[in-house]
Amino acid sequence: MKFGIVTFPGSNCDYDAYHAVIDQLGERAVYLWHKSRDLEGVDVVILPGGFSYGDYLRAGAIARFSPIMHEVASHARRGGPVIGICNGFQILCEAHLLPGALMRNSGLKFVSKPVHLRVENTDTLFTHRYEPGQVLRMPIAHGEGRYVADRATLERLDNEGRVVFRYVDAHGGLTAEANPNGSLHAIAGIVSAEGNVLGMMPHPERAVEPILGSVDGLGIFHSVLERVAA
């Protein structure tokens, strides 16, 4: 299977994603330059973390107009899998491929640390290899990760099982302390209505081998691999 990793000016987790796919999954991956209009036949698109266009105006606001994003949106409309991590999640929201927005962390600080996530829905393209309620550990590294959406959108996300990850404590409990950025409903990751677009602030590509301190991110890659290859 072939993954396409989009590189924007300011992306800095593109190599991490590449490493996860090539060295840990043993699958193929290509970098897709933001000015390209060709997805090169990839099966899955990854929008990696970083600070595309220096986060000018708002995180993700400018990247969304890159030529490649037109192709990413077409891929998503065809049902193709798209994974947006950190800045990639911000871009997906700005591009209206996912609802809501990511705002400045409630504590104002950039937060870089491992967090715990609870898998809220295992019936998705990206999470079916996890156990319901499984608690994962993977890093976050962002200054603008506070997920917000209007009340109706939040209700819809909840009712449709589209909240796939929430910030929790090590035991899986929802506590204010476990929410690192003030996200509404402790939301760490969501999927689109059709289920083929995932956006999440934590970094699964940095949790794919024991030397990194966690292998909990692998489940996302294996989940999508199994479904798309099938």
Partner 1 sequence: MSLYRVAIHIVPRRGLLDPQGKAVSDALHALGFSGVRETRIGRFVVLEIEAGDAMEADAAVREMCERLLANPVTEDFEIEGVHAIEGAHAT
Nearer CB in complex with partner 1: 32/63: 63
- Exactly one of 54, 79, 107, 213 binds partner 1 (CB under 8 A); that residue is 107
Distance (Å, rounded) from C-alpha 1 to C-alpha 85?
Answer: 20
Pick the stretch among 101-109, 186-194, 195-203, 221-229 that binds partner 1 (CB under 8 A).
Answer: 101-109
54 is an interface residue for partner 1 by CB under 8 A = no
Closest contact distance (angstroms) between CB of 153 and partner 1 is 8
57 is an interface residue for partner 1 by CB under 8 A = yes
Distance (Å, rounded) from C-alpha 72 to C-alpha 92?
Answer: 10
Give the H/E segment covering residue 68. helix 67-77
Active-site annotation, residues: 86, 203, 205
What phi and psi, each to the nearest 5 degrees, are found at residue 182? 80, 20
Nearer CB in complex with partner 1: 80/143: 143
Contact indicator for 182, 146 with CB cutoff of 8 Å: yes
Interactions with partner 1, residue window 138-157 (CB under 8 A): 146, 148-150
DSSP 74-105: HHHHTT--EEEETHHHHHHHHTTSSSSEEE--
Binding interface with partner 1 (CB under 8 A): 57-58, 61, 93-94, 99-101, 103-108, 146, 148-150, 182
